[in-house]
Structure 1
Amino acid sequence: MHMTRFSALPAALALAALLAAAAPAARCAAPQGAGPRGAAPERASPDQAASKSAAPENAAPENAAAQNAGPLPAQADAPFAVRRIAAFDRPWAIAFLPDGRLVLTEKAGRMFLVTQAGAKTAIDGVPAAYDRGQNGMLDVAPSPDFARDRLLYFTRVAPEKGGGALILARARLDESGGRARLSELTTLWRQRPASRGGQPGGIIAFSPDGRHLFLTVGDRMEPDTAQDPEAARGKILRLNPDGSAPPDNPMAGQAGIRALTWSTGHRNAYGLAFAPDGTLWEHEMGPRGGDELNRIRPGGNYGWPEVSNGDQYSGWPIPRHATRPEFDAPSLYWTPVIAPAGLAFYRGTAFPAWQGSALIGGLRAEGLVRVAFGKDGVPRQADRWSLDRRIRDVAVAADGAVWLIEDGSGAGLLRLTAK
């Protein structure tokens, strides 16, 4: 990287000067082992207990040895066959219903029911989305009790004065006479203020017991807000299914977004899922380098924008995670980037070797990444398969087949089965 302002200095001295200049900019660093600023002492809960049993708070020794999987090449041969089931216009998310059908969202503000044979039913009554840049209709997840309550939870960036606001909503899915419609639409959480920036996040994950909902909120291209405990940016939220704040959140009882905040210091999280052991994992896109896979703990601060294993798009360096041990470092990262999108843990018999692995779509990588976990719980990239397609989301069917959606116009819904 060429930096004329330091051309007279030796390279090592230039880098040291840059890091020294950047260090004072850390305005909101939490004390080592602490959560976001002002965090109350953690209270025990089923979600917290799962996180703590899987990862002690002081995870520095493990994180210090995090693998950089970015340089690893894609493999030539894949153990699966790819079948194109249907095509959509800029699809964004897929989720399976108990009967085996999928719910699929399109970024422009549409939602479909799709059979595994590819038959589509458009869902009426879907609210408007702010379809600009990275914003629009986003994730969808059926209620853990969908067979009884027929509720769909979904996110979108909605048009508002000043741009668009990330909204978490739920509605009842009604079906009659071959048609489908959303009814009883309820807004559970609304981001304030609105923004014209991208990087909305908007990924939904229910806790294994179904009692809580987790939601990623991106920094909306306003990086400093990710460290502001008052800002609804750069956070992972934990809510009750009705949108209220659980009484055992890290900052429970405090005002505003603090009461909902589970972790902070995130950039652009497009993957969130619970592993079979109950651990919550998240991936997020870095800037120029530094895509991350993070083990999420209650009250954790993951450092953005104070630290990253990538640099600014301008080439200006960002202090690395190793320089600021008070922040939670990634368990795995990618430089060069893969632009991760979609995250699902494999549970099934079609691919026995994948049991318990994390499957991640790659937009930049144009393929599928498999992350395996050792006996010590440390993740390592096990496989990367090139599909020559930008992959937006990943889901696993009850029969163990893996389903993907491509990104863009005319994008395919793909089914992967064992060869």
Structure 2
Amino acid sequence: MKHLSTLILLAGLAGSPTLGQTLYANPPHAEWQTPAFKNQTRAPVLRVGIHAKQEILATGLEKPWGLALLPDGGWLITEKPGRMRLFRDGKLSEPLKGLDMVEGELLDVAVAKDFAATRQIWWSFWNPAPRDNATLTVGTGVLSESGDAIEDARIIFQEEPLWGPTLHFGARLVPDNEGHLFLTSGDRENEDIRMSAQDVNTVIGKVLRIDAQTGKGVKGNPFFEGGGKPEIWSWGHRNPQAADLDDQGRLWTIEHGPMGGDEVNKPEPGRNYGWPIITYGQDYDGEPFGDGITQHEGMEQPIYYWDPSIAPGGAAFYRGDMFPDLQGDLLVGGLNSEALFRLRLKDDRVFAEQQIAKGMGRIRDVAVAPDGSIVVLTDAEDGKFIRLSR
């Protein structure tokens, strides 16, 4: 059932960014740490008022995770229990047929840029594996003309070796502008495994770039000719669950830190982003993580970090006409923060930050509709699909 109400995203004063820090009532967890450069954290708060209406488009989604736009304006929505639905013309479909391969949890979904000709989509999920292990997997198939089934479903990528924990899969899918597919992979949140993020002979804790049809590594990847896994694009990541391309076609990711230290990165091929050697967070027992260092030779600094954490969900660059003031900004959903954040960028650095919505719930994914409205998924047993518009 639809529900329409007025939502004030932020009641602020028009003008330039100020140095007010109202977003951060609490001090950072890791108070002993120092940012590497200005505005790497706690950037100036943008105080320009933005107002919008909140419309709940659909309810009753069980732990929704991923969201992808179809050329006809419909949306594919995944639910963790292994269901994918189509929202079109104001109606939410029954679960699509053809996803029997998902035995664990269904995560992200992506639509081919040439969907109008191929009707191809991809989805990420994890499946149980022998001896209490699990594996991050990517499937692909064709959305039927009727929109009620996925046909010719097949697996193109499966994480090896197998690992036990069923946390921190990353799993965000982003088609690039060259016909390939970015896939984020988490560190699996296990003390015995997390150092694999530094091992280029595994795909744990990495950003991967794979062939969209075969799932294999592609030319231009740093280890395509050898020396490491050919699928790897960058490494040293903890749990990147948000990703999008900017206007130049460059990938940006946002990953969960430990207790603090959520990071915004622009992963470059062959670069090491430090986890778990460096981090701007601390361990959950309140002690420094590892050696407690935030910089190390040969390891990249995050463009931005949050401490305390916002627990980032999905993210999207705003491109649209409905909210001109947001043009080019990076929108980030927050899970435990239950908020939608806006990062204003300049020369690939964060110039200002703003919390533009709060109270909708745990925001798992965010996207921009063709008309410029913003849509989000809330992560709950009774999850919602919400539209923000003028």
What TM-score results when the alignment is normalised by the length of structure 1? Answer: 0.79
Relative distance call for 1:353 and 1:93 in structure 2 (3 A) is same
**Distance (whole Å) between structure 2 residues aligned to residue 199 and residue 258 of structure 1:** 20
Query: Which of 200, 206, 210 does residue 169 from structure 2 map onto?
Result: 200
CA contact (8 A) 1:159 1:165 kept: yes
Q: For 1:59-98, what aligned pairs fall within 5 Å after superposition?
A: 64-69=37-42, 78-87=50-59, 88-98=61-71
Confirm or deny that 1:270 pairs with 2:241: yes
Deviation at 1:63, TM superposition (A): 5.7
Give per-residue Cα distances to partners, 1:138-171, cap 9 Å, x unaligned: 0000111111111111100012213321001101
Relative distance call for 1:365 and 1:310 in structure 2 (3 A) is same
Match of 2:201 in 1: 230
**Distance (whole Å) between structure 2 residues aligned to residue 338 and residue 286 of structure 1:** 10
Deviation at 1:129, TM superposition (A): 3.3
Q: 1:86 corresponds to which letter in structure 2?
A: A
Confirm or deny that 1:171 pairs with 2:115: no
SS of the residue aligned with 2:91?
coil
**Distance (whole Å) between structure 2 residues aligned to residue 291 and residue 380 of structure 1:** 17
Confirm or deny that 1:329 pairs with 2:298: no
**Distance (whole Å) between structure 2 residues aligned to residue 323 and residue 347 of structure 1:** 34
Runs of 5+ unmatched residues, structure 1: 1-14, 20-61
Deviation at 1:116, TM superposition (A): 4.7
Q: For 1:98-177, what aligned pairs fall within 5 Å after superposition?
A: 98-131=71-104, 136-161=105-130, 162-176=132-146
CA contact (8 A) 1:393 1:405 kept: yes
Match of 2:9 in 1: none
Confirm or deny that 1:370 pairs with 2:342: yes
Deviation at 1:254, TM superposition (A): 1.7
Relative distance call for 1:300 and 1:63 in structure 2 (3 A) is farther
Query: Which of 284, 294, 311 does residue 255 from structure 2 map onto?
Result: 284
**Distance (whole Å) between structure 2 residues aligned to residue 93 and residue 251 of structure 1:** 29
Deviation at 1:78, TM superposition (A): 4.9
Deviation at 1:322, TM superposition (A): 4.3
SS of the residue aligned with 1:293?
strand
SS of the residue aligned with 1:323?
coil
**Distance (whole Å) between structure 2 residues aligned to residue 265 and residue 356 of structure 1:** 27
Q: 1:169 corresponds to which letter in structure 2?
A: G
CA contact (8 A) 2:46 2:353 kept: no
Deviation at 1:367, TM superposition (A): 1.1
**RMSD over aligned Cα, in angstroms?**
2.4
What TM-score results when the alignment is normalised by the length of structure 2? Answer: 0.84
Deviation at 1:381, TM superposition (A): 4.3
Q: 1:159 corresponds to which letter in structure 2?
A: P
CA contact (8 A) 1:250 1:262 kept: yes
CA contact (8 A) 2:329 2:342 kept: yes
Runs of 5+ unmatched residues, structure 2: 1-29
Match of 1:294 in 2: 265
**Distance (whole Å) between structure 1 residues aligned to residue 274 and residue 179 of structure 2:** 28
Larger radius of gyration: 1
Q: Which moved more, 1:74-83 or 1:116-125?
A: 74-83
**Distance (whole Å) between structure 1 residues aligned to residue 52 and residue 295 of structure 2:** 41
How many residues are treated as equivalent by the alignment? 350
SS of the residue aligned with 2:149?
strand
Relative distance call for 1:389 and 1:381 in structure 2 (3 A) is farther
CA contact (8 A) 2:245 2:317 kept: yes
